[in-house]
Amino acid sequence: MRTPSQILVPLDGSPAADRAIPIAARIAQRAEARLHLVAVSRPIVPATAHIAPGFVVVAPNLESVSRIGLKGHLDARAEEIETLYNVPVLPVVVDGSDAVADDLVAYAAEHDIDLIVMRTHGRSAIGRLCVGSVGSTLVDRAGVPCMLLRDNHPVPSLDARKRWDMRRILVPLDGSDEAEIGIEQALELATPGYTELRLLVVVPRKWAAKENGDYAVPQTVQLANAEAYVNGLARRLEARGYRAKALALADDSPAAAIAGCADAQQVDLVSMASHHRGEGNRLLFGSVIDTLVHETDVPILARRVGMAAVRVEKLEEVANTCGLHRMAEV
């Protein structure tokens, strides 16, 4: 992840969705980035349309009123952000032509967005943005890190002088180059000498050495291998001036283990990356994200990399930059 210069905040006119703004604004302030406040205006269909489609009457100015309401909401939020945080803001209402998520993916690609910050349960009658499903689609298809904030995640103070400095970031790993991208995207939000990265590998109790193998590696060997891997990554991070701690757990449910660790370690963020369709990826990426969103209040910085991404860095270049290596196969 490069230092973000263009940050997208999807909004729908609701106070719930607006709660993503303070965190996005502080990241923009720190990175000297521009905020894009984007709402998608959708055609209004009355609730009775499916009952009597031939007799539905819609006031001719209803669509324009909805769009004007969204534009006024975004303009007001933009003025507040510029005053409090002194960062440039671009408020945009997109005339939707596809699904809301598709319109946001297209906007992200067109405007070279580097980071998306959004709440996971914002919705309103005006914007009709169901952020839960939209968030999943953006993670899968936008090709950039998406920060998902649980709706009841505490909203930081609006004091523009304070920055959102994170004390601990949890990075789940599985030995793949793709998962290690989660380290670099975490470092973009970390403060050297202050933020501590907790590097976590979850070892299944039965982890076959080879695909369709006839035997499983003993759990003690699996854990020893995982510990050596994350300890090596931690030492490399410390050599770069960052604080790091290695963790290895044995659990048959990676999602539950990561969620439990996020709470037990009292982390401020979980940073994850995965190949779009990585068959070798031993973390159930979507399942882990869903579990974290529903069972913890910890923000999630998630990214899919691979063929479906709008922009994909070469993994070799990322690995060389990190100075990190894949965990040797058992």
In the 3-class helix/strand/coil scheme, how is the chain assigned residue by residue?
CCCCCEEEEECCCCHHHHCCHHHHHHHHHHHCCEEEEEEEECCCCCCCCCCCHHHCCCCCCHHHHHHHHHHHHHHHHHHHHHHHHCCCEEEEEEECCCCHHHHHHHHHHHCCCCEEEEECCCCCCCCCCCHHHHHHHHHHHCCCCEEEECCCCCCCCCCCCCCCCCCEEEEEECCCHHHHHHHHHHHCCCCCCCCEEEEEEEECCCCECCCCCCCECCHHHHHHHHHHHHHHHHHHHHHCCCEEEEEEEECCCHHHHHHHHHHHCCCCEEEEEEECCCCCCCCCHHHHHHHHHHHCCCCEEEEEECCCCCCCCCHHHHHHHHCCCCCCCC
Question: Which tens digit of pLDDT belongs to each residue from 106-155?
Answer: 999 999 999 999 987 644 444 444 445 788 888 888 889 999 987 655 55
* Confidence band of 29 (pLDDT split at 50, 70, 90): very high
- Contact of 39 with 10, CB cutoff 8 Å: yes
Residue 292 has a pLDDT of 80
Tell me if 74 sits within 8 A of 37, measured CB to CB.
yes
The CATH number of domain 6-44+58-149 is 3.40.50.620: yes
Q: Which of the residue ranges 1-5, 77-81, 257-261 has the most confident prediction, judged by mean pLDDT?
A: 77-81
Exposed, middle or buried: residue 109 (CB in 10 Å: 0-12, 13-18, 19+)?
middle
What is residue 45's predicted lDDT score, i.e. its pLDDT?
A: 55
Could you give the CA distance from residue 72 to residue 83 in angstroms, rounded to a whole number?
17
User: What's the pLDDT score for residue 117?
Assistant: 96
Structure-model confidence comparison of residues 209 and 13, the more confident one = 13
Q: Which two tokens stand for residue 305?
A: 């990399």
Burial class (CB in 10 A: 0-12, 13-18, 19+), 13: buried
pLDDT attached to residue 306: 67
Instruction: Tell me the mean pLDDT in the region 24-34.
Output: 93
pLDDT value, residue 106: 93
User: pLDDT above 90 covers what percent of the chain?
Assistant: 42
Question: Is the Cβ–Cβ distance between 12 and 129 less than 8 Å?
Answer: yes
Answer yes or no: are the C-beta atoms of 315 and 326 closer than 8 Å. no
The pLDDT assigned to 313 comes to 39
Q: Is 203 exposed, middle or buried (0-12, 13-18, 19+ CB in 10 A)?
A: buried
Position 111 scores a pLDDT of 96
Rounded CA-CA distance 138/87 in Å is: 24
Residue 105's pLDDT is what? 93
| The predicted structure's pLDDT at residue 37 | 97
List b or e across 81-90, with b for residues whose CB sees 16 or more CB atoms inside 10 angstroms: beebbebebe
CATH 3.40.50.620 residue ranges in the chain?
6-44+58-149, 168-322
Q: Which residues lie closer than 8 Å to 46 by C-beta, 6 or more apart?
A: 56, 58
Identify the band that residue 220 occupies on the pLDDT scale cut at 50, 70 and 90.
confident
245 within 8 A of 198, measured Cβ to Cβ = yes
Structure tokens at 120: 């996971």
Two tokens at 87? 């960062």
Q: Which whole number is the average pLDDT over 53-77? A: 69
pLDDT at position 330: 31
Per-residue pLDDT, 38: 96
Percent of the chain at pLDDT > 70 equals 70
For the segment 256-297, what is each residue's pLDDT rounded down to a tens digit? 899 999 999 999 999 999 875 544 445 667 777 877 877 788
Taking 90 as the threshold, does the pLDDT of residue 90 lie above it? yes
CATH architecture of 168-322: 3-Layer(aba) Sandwich (3.40)
